[in-house]
Amino acid sequence: MVIAIASGKGGTGKTTVATSLASVLGPNGRLLDCDVEEPNCHIFMNPELDTSVAVNLPVPVVDMEKCSLCGKCGEVCRFSAIVLIGDEVLTFPEMCHGCGGCSLLCPEKAIAEGSRLLGVVETGYSGAVEFVQGRLRVGEAMSPPLIKAVKEKIDPEKINILDAPPGASCPVITTVKGADFILMVTEPTPFGLHDLRIAVEAVSVLGAAMGVILNRSDIGTGDVERYCKERSLPLLMKIPHDRTIAEGYARGELLIDAAPQYRERFVDLSAHIAELVRQPGESYVEAAS
Ligand code: SF4
Ligand code: SF4
């Protein structure tokens, strides 16, 4: 099973939920940190990392000895990463998406494959939980290929928890695509509702079952709960604002360690999600605080 933890905006508690949910799964769980621009699950999981594999993207390298200056490579590239200017073919590797179209269409076979380092995929263990994270190279702008490399580590025999990047753009869709369940973490503020709406609209086309966790549930308005009711989104847990949890977070502790009464609730949450995946269609349910 693959459960993606997402949020319309940063700072809602997505990583707090992902790390505690993965931890209660023990040897049945695998946590994959797909927030490759700023992976932070490791702060709470303290994994021992034992492998680190570089992930590269193929980029064009032009042999001007063979080039006939036909310009077809520049015509096919949607990203202007290769252009014919005068009697030179210029390449801009940082803009290349690695589609291979230019090399495929070059009539002179003048384009060879170079590579651009995207980042690394690291694996290890946090106690009994298998841990995977991607780390994007500083200065690299394109994260989806690295996220796909992280997702190649999904183990079909385990319950895989994917910590998605915040927002609702390409990296989020790349992460949640193919998930059996998408768990949205939000907070009961106008910003929380606004960004939840956008994220729900963006990912609902994927057709996965969805649910919501309301973090700091006692600080705002009831608008998010009303929205969940309207959209028939199961509200699976409410986490009230709690100084003990905030202090634990600041120390880099898991929620279930800072506030042990949540351990059982996260066990119940994993069972509830498994039930929703088996029998989708549950509408709004009133979560206990
Ligand atoms: S590989 Fe694709 S994106 Fe990169 S330069 Fe060639 S056509 Fe453009
Ligand atoms: S398609 Fe090949 S031959 Fe034509 S301009 Fe590009 S590199 Fe040169």
How many structural domains is the chain composed of?
2
CA of 72 to the centre of ligand 2 (A): 6
185: in domain = yes
Q: Are 76 and 205 contained in the same domain? A: no
Closest ligand 2 atom to residue 71 Cα is 5
What CATH number is attached to the domain comprising 98?
3.30.70.20
Domain with 195, as residue range(s), is 2-55+122-278
Distances (CA, A) of 206 to 18, 41, 165, 195: 21, 25, 17, 18
Entry pTM: 0.90
Q: Are 210 and 245 contained in the same domain? A: yes
Q: Are 205 and 270 contained in the same domain? A: yes
pLDDT of residue 160: 98
Q: Are 73 and 176 contained in the same domain? A: no
From 59, 82, 84, 113, mutation site for ligand 2 pocket: most ligand atoms within 8 A of C-beta: 84
From 65, 108, 109, mutation site for ligand 2 pocket: most ligand atoms within 8 A of C-beta: 108
CA of 59 to the centre of ligand 1 (A): 7
**Mean pLDDT throughout 8-25?**
92
Q: Whose CA is nearest to atom 2 of ligand 1?
A: 99
Decide: helix, strand or coil at residue 235.
strand
Does residue 72's CB lie within 6 angstroms of at least one atom of ligand 1? no
Give the C-alpha separation, 22 to 34, whole Å. Answer: 14
- Residue pair 33/120 in contact by the 8 Å Cβ criterion: no
Grade residue 289 by pLDDT with cuts at 50, 70 and 90. low
Q: What is the pLDDT of residues 59-111, one digit of tens each?
A: 999 999 999 999 999 999 999 999 999 999 999 999 999 999 999 999 999 99
Q: Are 85 and 200 contained in the same domain? A: no
156: in domain = yes
Does residue 76's CB lie within 6 angstroms of at least one atom of ligand 1? yes
CA of 277 to the centre of ligand 1 (A): 39
Count of CA atoms in the C-beta half-sphere (13 A) of 35: 24
- Residue pair 119/146 in contact by the 8 Å Cβ criterion: yes
User: What would you measure as the largest C-alpha separation in the chain, in angstroms?
Assistant: 71
Closest ligand 1 atom to residue 99 Cα is 2
**Mean pLDDT throughout 46-55?**
97
Tell me which of 109, 140, 174 is where a domain ends: 109
Which value, in Å, is the radius of gyration of the alpha carbons in the chain? 22
